[in-house]
Structure 1
Amino acid sequence: MKKALLIAGTLALATAATSVNAFEKRVSVGAIAGTTGFGGDLSWRFHENLALSARYTDGLDFDTDFEEDDVDYDAEFGLKASSFKVDYFPFGGRFFISAGAMLPNIDANVTGTPRNGSSFELNGVNYSAAEIGSVVGKATVADGTQPYVGWGWRSSHTEGFGFFSEFGVVATNVDVALRTTNGFENLDPSLNDDMRAEEASLKDDIDKLPVFPVALIGISYTF
């Protein structure tokens, strides 16, 4: 009886060891498109439940406009980002949860024009467009190293072609810097104060959400 139990235990341990060792480490390379642009993706699944992944995206530009007081602002956005993260596959299959760091560069060149065509209203004060020129500047939504979390689906545990997708959020750090084309704010302290107040007002308008949504789809090959 003891001998039978010993044999059964040995077989169970051997089966468990075989199951643990059955997973093969795999590398996936892919092309992606999403809310931060177009680019490439690399993933190393070194464990049934864990993988390391990195990506870079660029090349997505779009224009938008918004109003602040009596000034119409045109914003030309450019988006690019790189990231490095750990993917956790809780069930050992396709679904994963992701956490890591992203280096986004999401900003816009901003140009303001007066709605009435002749004067700007900055911080409640009217300034002649003929005197100060145009209001231009830069609005930053996110840059530097920011935390990222997300989730998605990827067939990185099996060899061959496959589609993958991911959804997540990256923290923002909104900033706005404005100037006039004639540079009169450097000579007029009151205009300079009103420009800084206009920056703060625009920042509050942009900074409604503390995160930027990240959504992407891609195709990959797993070796």
Structure 2
Amino acid sequence: MTATGVIASMCLLGMTQAQAQDNNRITLGAVAGTTGVGADVAWRFSERLGVSARYTGGLDWSTDYSTDDVDYEGDISLAAGKLTLDYYPFASGFFLSAGVMLPDMDANVVGRPRNDTYEFNGRTYDAALLGTLNGTLTLADGVQPYAGLGWRQSHRSGFGFFTEVGVMATDVNVSLSTSEGYENLDNPFSAQLRSDIRQEERRLEDEAKKWPVYPVAVIGVSYTF
């Protein structure tokens, strides 16, 4: 091989190695958003494809919700993991993302009557007899589908910013009980109360299901190796 051929081969090898390096990058990020604060890691194994994983949590707050005769107070706790395939259509930092989320989103709720009685399923119950309504509202858990888009500086090394917005399907479930526990006794009154409380659970679930998806939005900083 001539000297020119050797030089050309070395240049070609160098370009191939540089391209392979550019198409095989790891990006680490610290993020915060609507599912809490946490970390994001992405592996961009080709110019237009990559995979990413994220975990966020620690987002808690209190909220109120009222029906016609019950005032509910809820302490909400949010956390979620995410695993997605990312597509970079322009071979830049912009990406489309699809995959799954593993949420742990629920609220401990306490309901108190607005007057002196509860009305469940058209029947009236003395609030002094039942006490408060206690329970859990689960917004989403298990494995839920996710789709989103965002920007991750994984096309070149160094520091950058990270942002992503998307939606996750919800799976609402409500569980209620009274503080006095009369629905747990074995008699006709308790059986009827149990049935009527189940109806109240379904009513609250139907209200929550008016929002079939949860908005996911995060922003943060990242470093690409």
TM-score above 0.5: yes
2:184 maps to 1:186: yes
Contact 1:69 1:122 in 2 (8 A): no
Contact 1:69 1:121 in 2 (8 A): no
In structure 1, runs of 5+ residues without a counterpart are 1-10
Give the partner amino acid of 2:199: A
Could you say which residue in structure 1 is the equivalent of 2:105?
Answer: 106
Could you say which residue in structure 1 is the equivalent of 2:35?
Answer: 36
> Which whole-Å CA distance do the structure 1 matches of 2:204 and 2:80 have between them?
24
> Which whole-Å CA distance do the structure 2 matches of 1:177 and 1:22 have between them?
55
Deviations 1:130-158 (A, max 9, x none): 11111010001110011111000111111
- After superposition, the Cα gap between the structure-2 partners of 1:149 and 1:74, relative to the gap in structure 1 and judged at 3 Å, is same
Structure 1 residue 65: Cα displacement? 1.0
Give the partner amino acid of 2:197: M
Structure 1 residue 19: Cα displacement? 7.4
2:60 maps to 1:61: yes
> Which whole-Å CA distance do the structure 2 matches of 1:21 and 1:158 have between them?
12
> Which whole-Å CA distance do the structure 2 matches of 1:164 and 1:43 have between them?
11
Contact 2:29 2:162 in 1 (8 A): no
What secondary structure is seen at the aligned counterpart in 2 of 1:157? coil
The normalised TM-score by structure 1 is 0.89
> Which whole-Å CA distance do the structure 1 matches of 2:16 and 2:26 have between them?
21
What secondary structure is seen at the aligned counterpart in 2 of 1:47? coil
Contact 2:135 2:174 in 1 (8 A): yes
Contact 1:94 1:155 in 2 (8 A): yes
Q: Give the one of 180, 189, 206 matched to 2:208.
A: 206
What secondary structure is seen at the aligned counterpart in 1 of 2:193? helix
> Which whole-Å CA distance do the structure 1 matches of 2:55 and 2:222 have between them?
15
What secondary structure is seen at the aligned counterpart in 1 of 2:45? strand
Give the partner amino acid of 2:147: V
Deviations 1:10-39 (A, max 9, x none): x9xx98xx5796252111111000100000
The normalised TM-score by structure 2 is 0.88
Structure 1 residue 124: Cα displacement? 2.4
Q: How does 1:143-158 map to 2 (within 5 A)?
A: 143-158=141-156
2:93 maps to 1:115: no
> Which whole-Å CA distance do the structure 2 matches of 1:143 and 1:69 have between them?
29
Q: Give the one of 138, 158, 161 matched to 1:160.
A: 158
Contact 1:35 1:214 in 2 (8 A): yes
Could you say which residue in structure 1 is the equivalent of 2:137?
Answer: 139
Give the partner amino acid of 2:83: F
- After superposition, the Cα gap between the structure-2 partners of 1:93 and 1:20, relative to the gap in structure 1 and judged at 3 Å, is farther
Could you say which residue in structure 2 is the equivalent of 1:22?
Answer: 19
Percent of counterpart pairs with the same letter?
A: 53
Deviations 1:102-134 (A, max 9, x none): 100111001000112x22222222211211111
